[in-house]
A and B are shown apart, each in its own frame.
Chain A
Amino acid sequence: MKQRTKGNFHQTAAPLLFLLPNIVIFGTFIIIPAVQGLRMSFTEWGVFTTPRFIGLDNFKELIADEVFWKTFANTLSYSFFTVSLIMIYALALALLLYKNTIKGEKAFRSLFYIPSLLSMITVGIAWRFILGDEMGIINYLIRASGGSGVRWLTDSKLAMVSIIGVSIWAQAGYYMVILIAGLQAIPLDLYEAAKIDGSSTPRTFISITLPLLKSTLLVVLVLATITSFKAYELIAVMTKGGPGYATKLIVQQVYQVAFLEDRMGYASAMSIVLMLIISLFTVVQFKVSGRDQDYE
């Protein structure tokens, strides 16, 4: 009887006790603000005024808000290209650097990983110095060699390309490390067996590496997608969302509406929509990638 009680404690109460600090932190800083944000989205509220319940008015206004939909389209396009290219680039780096067979491999890993340790503000400032139209280093070199300079940050299309490029540079190293861990966890005897069977390198990659790396790739996909939807600092520093609306994402618009236009309720409604979109993408990614998942 006594033993059963002890067993129950270990199986139920003990895990809960260990989880408690995390639950408290998660609840205080994520759940409560999220619920509060949902409540605010049904109100008209400025920082210095009392919230007034207005039902679904904020969401109705959102449907007709041209700027919101522009930023929404920008967010989707930024996320799609950033996440896709990050996955390809990070996987390529990981494949090159996971075997510990190349000389200086660890130094290269560090080199590619370092940008992900920098704050996005620092990254943005540094790249502004590099890509600036008039004062940028690249355009200075182009002009010094007789060219006319490239409008990296002032051409509507090129500005988004520049932002995506810098985002990839800044984040790929982090995902490379995750993928290296995933690659190193694949048993070597599988590769040896494939070699004995005469499998080519592409065939081995498709039939062994990719399936066994699937769960790691899913983690990278979800993390990169969430990060891309929340991108703020880099764009704020490099382009301020411009030129015009060319690089403005939903998060920038939420900030503007909340803190510059002083419409906290409407900004909360935008945030709720953003949260729903991210949740939807995450669920879809898990569903699609997890259909024939091998978690071994």
Chain B
Amino acid sequence: MKKACIALMILLLMGTTIFAAGTKEEGAKKEVTLSVLWFNDANESDVFLKTMDDYLKANPHVKLDLQIIAYNEYDQKLKMMISGGNPPDLARITTNTLSVVVDSLEPIDNHVSDVEAVKKEYLPSMVAFATNKDGKFVAYPTEATANGMLVNKTAFDRAGIDVDEVSKTWTWSEWETIIKKVVAANPSMKYGLAVDFTPHRFSTLMYQWNGRFLNEDQSNIKFNNPGTIETLKWFKHIHDEDLVPKSVWLGSENPAELFQAGLVAGHIGGSWNINTYNKNVKDFEWKAVRMPQGRINSSVPGGKFVASFKGTKNQEEAFKLMAAFADKSHNERYSRDTFNIPSRNDAQVTYPSNSKDFEVFLEELKVTPAYTANEWKNTNLSKITTYIREQIVEVLLGNVTAEQAVANVDNRGASFFR
């Protein structure tokens, strides 16, 4: 009897333990730590975490392991992680990076029931960037960017020039006359314009002069075209005339710092500079204005995305998090707090300030030809951009002519399109 009681108690104990364990499995979801690779233009990582706070509270089993990498090293780090078979669960990527890693991205098509409905939620240019060659949608757009011009309004006012008025229809030759007056009227100001030391920002000017990187069907490089040559000559001219500081393109000095120090009257850069200047510029009034016209008006569209990679172990949770981050309310909040242009068609963002500056950048995007996005989406173009930048500098130094530089680029670039 005693033995039977003991056996019964053991059985009961075992049964209870197994039942309890089963309940625990069902009640609490398995803990998941998502590895996230991120870079910052300003404060995006903080805003990302703040924006996703409600999601993480509602999903306590999801933890984020956020690795923030300097943008200069970002592409290399990501490429090494992918080629080493250890990609992050999700990563923030730019249009440039997207073109390089596009084949390694896990399509959203595999994780949603109606991908066409998802695509319709975003700006067409952003969808175009995030679509691979098989037509699969591979990344959630988080913010749209554009290149544009920010000017020191106080300096224009001192010269008695109403920059709002003149910038409505100005051409680059009119700009040159105006900017000389502005620099002359401001003794501490040395230059008229700083242009970021990147081929992307140079291409803003190039597109305005009807230049291109690639041929019509984008099957080969075609930097050697009249528009590009004209841009290069004009770019050298404004350097030689000291209208732009040589230290940016010849010495990689930071143009944003020069603008903030009041040394230049204008800056051609990305829309994220609105955020930077909003925080840092206190000594003068600044604003976004329409860029002068070359042959046409144009900006260069760009953007940032979040994406996951083929073969990552926490794909399901990664896609849930990305979908939540890209939904209307999160996208609006993130765009507002990072001072970025939202990537969604339905987003209604009221910025704490600078709303008019964003409108100017959006106006620039509206008149930008579609081929600009298609060129920057080209994987092979991204491989030759550093060489293009070097050749532009060679022209500025007078070591080669504009004609020689474009021929050099076509010669070297052709090997990437074979």
Contact = CB atoms under 8 A, between A and B. Distances in A.
Query: Is B one of A's binding partners?
Result: yes
A interface bracket (residues with beta carbon within 8 Å of B): 20 to 34
Given A47-B83, A133-B245, A135-B258, A261 B251 contact: no
B251 A132 contact: yes
Interface in A142-157: 151, 153-154, 156
A133 B246 contact: yes
A260 interface: yes
B413 to A, nearest CB: 10
Interface string A10-48: 000000000000000000000000000000000000011
Nearest to B190: A134
B65 interface: no
A134 B261 CA distance: 10
Nearest to B257: A135
Interface stretch (B142-150, B296-304, B386-394): B386-394
Interface in B301-317: none
Contacts of A154: 246-247, 250-251
Interface string A242-265: 111100000000001001111100
A48 B83 CA distance: 6
A80 B108 CA distance: 55
Given A133-B247, A134-B263, A156 B253 contact: no
B411 to A, nearest CB: 10
B251 A243 contact: yes
Given A48-B82, A133-B246, A243-B251, A256 B386 contact: yes
A132 B103 CA distance: 41
Contacts of B387: 67, 256, 261
B251 A153 contact: yes
A151 B387 CA distance: 24
Contacts of B394: 244-245
Interface in B250-301: 250-254, 257-258, 261, 263
- Most A CB within 10 A of own CB, among B249, B384, B390: B390
B309 to A, nearest CB: 12
Interface in A253-285: 256, 259-263
Interface of B: 75-76, 79-80, 82-83, 100, 103-104, 190, 245-247, 249-254, 257-258, 261, 263, 383-387, 390, 393-394, 396-397, 399, 416
For the complex of A and B, the 3 pairs showing the least CB-CB separation, nearest first, are A133-B247, A243-B250, A154-B251
Interface of A: 47-48, 67, 132-135, 151, 153-154, 156, 159, 239-245, 256, 259-263
27 contacts: A47-B82, A48-B82, A67-B387, A132-B251, A133-B247, A134-B190, A135-B254, A135-B261, A151-B246, A154-B246, A154-B250, A154-B251, A159-B251, A240-B252, A243-B250, A243-B251, A243-B393, A243-B397, A244-B250, A244-B390, A244-B397, A256-B386, A259-B79, A261-B386, A262-B100, A262-B383, A263-B383
